[in-house]
Amino acid sequence: MKASSGKKRLIVLLGPTGVGKTDLSIELAGWLHTPILSCDSRQLYKEMKIGTAVPTDEQLAAVPHFFIGTLSVFDYYNSWQFEQQALEKIRELHRETDDVLMTGGSMMYIDAVCKGIDDVPTIDPEIRSALVEQYALEGLEPIRQQLKELDPDFYKEVDLRNPKRVLHALEVCLTAGKPYSSLRTHTPRERDFSILKIGLYREREELYRRIDRRVEEMLEAGLEREARVLYPLRHLNALNTVGYKEFFDYFDGKITYNEAVSLIKRDSRRYAKKQLSWFRRTPEIHWFLPEEKVVLFSLIEQRS
């Protein structure tokens, strides 16, 4: 929709993995005459096309997309960087159109754009490099223990299996000279545009069938081959991702091929459940089944 005197708006199409966001976002973007801002923290990496279900070449050609394949797995990237870059792109697009569409399922990235995240100091590159090297050589446990010593409060709440979160918290502690938890205010930021959040859902059994089928399609498209190419880089944070880490265990001889496939399906279903739990805590999301497009489009057409 071309720019008018109305207030600018960001439309966020979100939902769990496998629910059907990509197809609907293409249709919605065509109707709105707007590009798509991808909000998927793994589709950013150009080496991870199959395992992250990047839109097809035809879909990418149909509608301009941003934040897909713009990074390498070697690049360090976080939700704060995404917030800054996404807001800049939104402001740029709002000069031409009233509505901008963002779609994806990365919870932290969506919150970063819609609510903002707390200010943290610019990380000392030497500290970051040293921690990444330590993680590569010694694993995550020594990093966890340092975080426990410097910030016991955040240690109690962080997902200790997530290297990115643990590493980031520790590098903030070391750079700032104070606990990461002391810098977190959780105060939402004001945006100069309105936000309409639309959530897609399906009945659990149907969603899980779709997820299992999508894993099979990834395998047919060459997921194992893609994972083998990335296997030497398995220590990188970007590759701590469902679909890759299970194959890495298979390549290491820890599990069989069939077990790897079964685990990819299971872990994908678990991630979808985690996404839905996170999103359900946001009351302003308008939820729709994918087939309820008429009502959904009608909601979007009602400008505030």
Q: Residue 107: which CATH number?
A: 3.40.50.300
**280-299: average pLDDT:** 93
Q: What is the mean pLDDT of residues 255-265?
A: 98
Could you give the CA distance from residue 250 to residue 35 in angstroms, rounded to a whole number? 39
pLDDT tens-digit readout, 214-239: 999 999 999 999 999 999 999 888 99
Residue 254 in domain: yes
pLDDT tens track for 111-126: 999 998 776 677 778 8
Asked if residue 1 belongs to a domain, the reply is no
Identify whether residues 156 and 296 lie together within a single domain. Answer: no
CB contact at 8 A, 83 and 116: yes
Strand ordering across the sheet containing 99-104: 65-66, 36-38, 99-104, 9-14, 194-200, 286-288
> What does the alpha-carbon distance between residue 256 and residue 247 come to, in Å, rounded to a whole number?
9
pLDDT, residue 3, reads 47
pLDDT digits (tens, 9 = 90+) for 22-37: 999 999 999 999 999 9
pLDDT recorded at residue 5: 47
Domain end among 183, 203, 225: 183
Domain end: 164, 183, 202, which one? 183
Residue 239 DSSP label? G
The answer to whether residue 174 sits within a structural domain is yes
Where residue 160 sits, what CATH number does that domain have?
1.10.20.140
101 closest CA partner among 73, 51, 141, 65: 65
Residue 151 sits in the same domain as residue 92? no
pLDDT at 77: 86
Q: Which residue range(s) make up the domain with 218? A: 9-117+187-301
- 254 vs 26, 88, 211, 263, CA distance in Å? 40, 45, 24, 13
Q: Which whole number is the average pLDDT over 191-201? A: 96
Last residue of a domain, one of 148, 163, 183: 183
The bridge status of strand 99-104 relative to strand 286-288 is unpaired
Is 303's pLDDT higher than 70?
no
For the cut 90, the answer to whether the pLDDT of residue 2 exceeds it is no
Average the pLDDT over 167-172 and give the result: 90
- Same-domain check for residues 178 and 201: no
Residues 275, 105: contact at Cβ < 8 Å?
yes
Is the residue at 110 inside a domain? Answer: yes
Joined together, the tokens standing for residue 282 give 């946001």
Q: What is the dihedral of CA 49, 50, 52, 54, to 10 degrees?
A: 60
**DSSP codes, 245-299:** HHHHHHHTTSS-HHHHHHHHHHHHHHHHHHHHHHHTT-TTPEEE-TT-HHHHHHH
- pLDDT tier at 110, thresholds 50, 70, 90: very high
Q: Are residues 290 and 155 in the same domain?
A: no
Are 265 and 150 within one domain?
Answer: no
pLDDT, position 168: 87
238 vs 242: CA distance, rounded Å = 11
Q: What is the mean pLDDT of residues 164-173?
A: 89
* Shared domain check, 92 and 179: no
- Is 50 exceeded by the pLDDT of residue 56? yes
Q: Residue 147: inside a domain, yes or no? A: yes
pLDDT value at position 6?
61
Whether 148 is in a domain gets the answer yes
- Give the mean pLDDT of 154-175: 89
Looking at residues 70-87, what average pLDDT do you find? 92
Judged by average pLDDT, the poorest of 69-78, 92-101, 160-169, 281-290 is: 160-169
Instruction: Report yes or no on 2 lying in a domain.
Output: no
Q: Domain check: are 104 and 201 in the same one? A: yes
CB proximity list for 194: less than 8 A, separation 6 or greater: 7, 8, 9, 10, 304
In the chain, the number of structural domains is 2
Same domain, 178 and 191: no
